[in-house]
Amino acid sequence: MRSLLILSGVSPEAAAKGLRHIDCRPIAGAAILDAVTGDRLDSKPAKGVRVTRVGWAPRARAEQVRALAKCGVRHHRAIEAIALASKVSRSGAVAEVCRSDDPAYLAGYVASKKIGYVRLTPVKEKGDARGGRVVFVKRREARAVISFLAERPVVVDRPGSVGA
């Protein structure tokens, strides 16, 4: 995950801070971090930013389901995570890292415009409820990214792309 974040343009220091965040008890939303310093930029440390108002266009969803099935991935969490990562990517964020907080679901991913959605499994051991989501941004864009993530309705109309 660290290498993929650095490949995506996140500094080693910020990547380390982000990975520490998803190695803890999860918060409801995403933590927004400065992609250079790793400073936390959202205003609610105990909550983070909920990435909401994102869904699949039905045909695109069906295509994505087929593409995942070809790789042996059959889980609604993967489909929902790809929609969410598509919205995060369109927000202008530098990169995102996520590790499921479900103790029975062992996958995670790193996503960015540079590398796409890179799914990794297992990223933890069964029974481990630590996890979460971190979005790395350019500091001067933090406010715009946060309002896009929380408020802007987005429809994913092609696998890997977003039509807002």
Interface residues with ligand PML (CB under 6 A) are 75, 77-78, 81, 98, 100-102, 105, 107-109, 119
Closer residue to Mg ion (CB): 50 or 139: 50
Q: At closest approach, how far in Å is the CB of 41 from ligand PML?
A: 22
* Residue (57 or 129) nearer to ligand PML, CB: 129
In a 13 Å sphere around the CA of 5, the CA atoms on its Cβ side amount to 26
Question: Cβ 64 to ligand PML, closest distance in Å?
Answer: 11
Interatomic CA distance for residues 133 and 69, integer angstroms: 24
107 binds, among Mg ion, ligand PML, none (CB under 5 to 8 A by kind): ligand PML
Size of the site for Mg ion (CB under 5 A): 1
Comparing every residue's Cβ against Mg ion, the nearest one is 101
Residue 132 binding: pick among ligand PML, Mg ion, none (C-beta 5-8 Å cut-off by kind): none
